[in-house]
Amino acid sequence: MGLVISPLELRGAIFVLLLLLPNLSFAEEPAKVSVCLSCHREMGGELAQPVSLWEKSIHAQLGNNCEGCHGGDPNDEALAMNPEKGFVGSPKPEEIPDFCGKCHVGVMENYKKSPHYSAFRRGIGPSCVTCHKSHDVERASFDLIDETLCSQCHSYENGRKMKQAFISAELELQKMKSTFHKLDRRGMPVRKFEEKLFAERNALHQMTHTLDVMEIEKKTELVLTNLEVMKQETAALWKKVKKRWAIGSLVGLFLILFILLLIKLHRSLEEE
């Protein structure tokens, strides 16, 4: 019996396909295009620049669009820049910390305690966009503490100390995170530990804007001590995992022997 299609079958198949074709479409609806983006793109030049910069930013990656910072209605051209729809436009330089601080509340509080803010109020210090840029906002990272950037205004000595302290704690935090992930895959309860770790990490990251070297070093010490306690607690979980593996292997071994015995019995029955 060969797999041959007759002309009749072929015509039938084509007919069914043609019937289905109009219905075949990708189920996901296309995303709505923001009027802010389309208008600014069309304007070109300086007014179009924020769009291309924003597209490369962490804000774009996380889905924070124009209206997230500037307000307005991105779906209606007439209301896009309407103050009643929350449109606030661009902030003046002195308004920048509060403008960003609408979302980054903790960071703003710490920044306002820092020498950077004191200098900013005197009109010589950096604001958020000095380090993080305005539209092409970069993901917060310790790499931002950089000699080239810091030494534009002052020496890098304190910056280096802070960076070292942060990175040493961050490496340990990441190691611990991967340990929790491994334990989770082995069926251990790690949610509480993960929450603790998240809190530690958060507290540490908030310190970045205080710029108080002594405080930061103290905090990183505390984080490392807490991580050591967590490490000891997770050691007990690892012990439990290994115990399970040992017992499981023994049960497996017993089952293998039992199966071999049954196969032997089956063979002897066959030979009879």
Partner 1 sequence: MKPIFKKLTDWLKVSIPIPGEFFTKVTSEPVPHHLKRWWFALGGTPAYLFMIQVVTGILLTFYYVPEPGHAYSSIQRITYDIHFGWVIRSVHKWAANLMIIAVILHVFRIFFTGAYRKPRELNWMIGCLILGCTLGFGFTGYSLIYEQLSYWGATVAANITQNVPLLGDFLARFMRGGDSVEENTLTRFFVFHTMLLPLGLTLLLVVHITLIRLLGVTEFQFEEDKGKPERHFPFFPNHFLMEVIIGMCLTLLITFLVVFFPARLGPPADPFLTPEHIKPEWYFYFTFRWLKLTSLQVGVLGTGAAYALLIFWPFIESGLAKKFPNRDFSIWLGVIAVVTLIILTVWEALV
Binding of partner 1 by 3 (CB under 8 A): yes
Among 7, 26, 30, 92, binds partner 1 (CB under 8 A): 26
**What dihedral do alpha carbons 204, 205, 209, 212 form, nearest 10°?**
20
**Nearer CB in complex with partner 1: 43/256:** 256
Among 11, 185, 231, 242, binds partner 1 (CB under 8 A): 185
Helix residue ranges per DSSP H, 146-212: 147-150, 157-185, 191-207
Quote the least distance from Cβ 102 to partner 1, whole Å: 22
* Part in contact with partner 1 (CB under 8 A); list of ranges 40-48, 52-60, 221-229, 262-270: 262-270
Separation in Å, CA 117 to CA 95, 122, 163, 240: 12, 9, 20, 50
**Nearer CB in complex with partner 1: 41/244:** 244
Binding of partner 1 by 236 (CB under 8 A): no
Q: In angstroms, rounded to a whole number, what is the distance separating the alpha carbons of residues 132 and 150?
A: 13
Among 18, 28, 31, 214, binds partner 1 (CB under 8 A): 28
Quote the least distance from Cβ 64 to partner 1, whole Å: 15
Quote the least distance from Cβ 14 to partner 1, whole Å: 16
238 contacts 183 by C-beta, under 8 angstroms: yes
Phi, psi of 34 (to 5 degrees): -70, 135
Nearest to 218, CA basis, from 145, 142, 166, 155:
166
Query: Tokens at residue 244, please?
Result: 């399970």
Binding of partner 1 by 243 (CB under 8 A): no
Query: Tokens at residue 31, please?
Result: 């995303």
Judged by the rule CB under 8 A, the positions of this chain that interact with partner 1 are 1, 3, 20, 23-28, 184-187, 189, 191, 244-245, 247-249, 251-252, 255-256, 258-259, 262-263, 265-266, 269-270
